[in-house]
């Protein structure tokens, strides 16, 4: 069982706490001049995304979580699971809806995604920060309105809905920031 001492704590380190994998977001060393030192740590649960703060006595050790980030290619969805492949080893991974989270509504076949594996099982999929998707449905809007103010909802080929400016039409491709779910621009081609 690998462990980390508090001296090894830093942002990005993966720990196992109460049976769940966590990543350290922030680590602060706190110590009274003449007293016990502590590490005040902010952690994100890699399964739920929830952030919590926890305090450790400095010098204690904590079990490491066997967590790895892999760049995997999205292959297809069979209605229940999403399938990804490691392009180097050709190993395939089956991902459930829970681990897919929001990423499911942004990705298309062939997209490369960062997938977090815990004990070799996918627990979190991150869509690329920016994706280009085609608009399959939107209100045609008012002719001649190029102000861009207000905007309207548009459904994308993956089923996601984003707000777009009034001048953007069905069949056009747009660039979207998946972290905020926001329209960025019309795509060049």
Partner 1 sequence: MCDRLRARADLLRRVRSFFDARGVMEVCTPVLSRAAGTDPAIEPLRTRYTGPEHPRGLDLYLQTSPEFPMKRLLAAGSGPIYQIAQVFRDGEYGTRHNPEFSLLEWYRPGFDHHVLMDEVAALANACLQSSLPIEKIAYVDLFREHMGWHPLEADLSILEASAREQGLMVEGMASRDQWLDLFMSLVIEPRLGKQSLTFIYDYPASQASLARISLHDPALASRFELYHRGVELANGFHELADPVEQRQRFEQENLQRQERGQRQLPIDENFLAALETGLPDCAGVALGLDRLLMLKLNASCLDDVLSFSLKNA
Q: Is residue 188 a contact point for partner 1 (CB under 8 A)?
A: no
**Beta bridge partners of residue 175, listed in sequence order:** 132, 185
Q: Are strands 92-95 and 82-85 parallel, antiparallel or unpaired?
A: antiparallel
Task: Note the maximum CA span of the chain.
Answer: 73
Phi-psi region of 100 (alpha: psi -120 to 50; beta: other; left: phi over 0): alpha
Among 35, 79, 140, 144, binds partner 1 (CB under 8 A): 35
Q: Using the rule CB under 8 A, is 40 a contact of partner 1?
A: yes
Binding mask 60-79 for partner 1 (x = CB under 8 A): x-------------------
Residues 4-33 vs partner 1: string with x where CB under 8 A? ---x--------------------xxxxxx
Selection from 6, 9, 1, 126 nearest residue 57 by Cα: 6
* Cβ 25 to partner 1 shortest distance, Å: 15
- Nearest approach in angstroms of CB 39 to partner 1 is 9
Query: Which of 27, 114 has the CB closer to partner 1?
Result: 27
Question: Which of helix, strand or coil describes residue 161?
Answer: strand
Q: Which is nearer to partner 1, 52 or 170 (CB)?
A: 52
Q: Alpha carbon of 151 to those of 29, 43, 132, 141, 147: distances in Å?
A: 47, 37, 19, 9, 9
Q: Which residues bind partner 1 (CB under 8 A)?
A: 7, 28-38, 40, 52-53, 55-58, 60
């Amino acid at each position: 069982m690998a462990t980390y001492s508090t001296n090894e704590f830093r942002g990005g380190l993966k720990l196992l706490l109460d049976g769940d994998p966590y990543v350290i977001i922030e680590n602060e060393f706190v110590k009274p001049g003449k007293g016990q030192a502590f590490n005040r740590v902010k952690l994100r649960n890699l399964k739920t995304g929830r952030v919590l703060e926890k305090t450790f006595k400095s010098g204690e050790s904590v079990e490491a979580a066997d967590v790895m980030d892999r760049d995997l290619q999205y292959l297809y969805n069979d209605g229940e699971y999403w399938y990804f492949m490691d392009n180097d080893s050709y190993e395939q991974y089956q991902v459930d809806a829970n681990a897919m989270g929001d990423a499911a509504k942004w990705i298309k076949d062939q997209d490369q995604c960062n997938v977090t594996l815990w004990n070799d099982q996918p627990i979190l999929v991150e869509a690329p920060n920016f994706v280009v998707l085609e608009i399959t449905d939107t209100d045609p809007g008012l002719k001649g309105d190029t102000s861009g103010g207000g905007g309207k909802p548009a459904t994308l080929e993956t089923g996601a809905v984003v707000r777009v400016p009034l001048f953007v039409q069905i069949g056009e491709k747009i660039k979207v920031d998946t972290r905020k779910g926001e329209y960025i621009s019309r795509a060049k081609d």
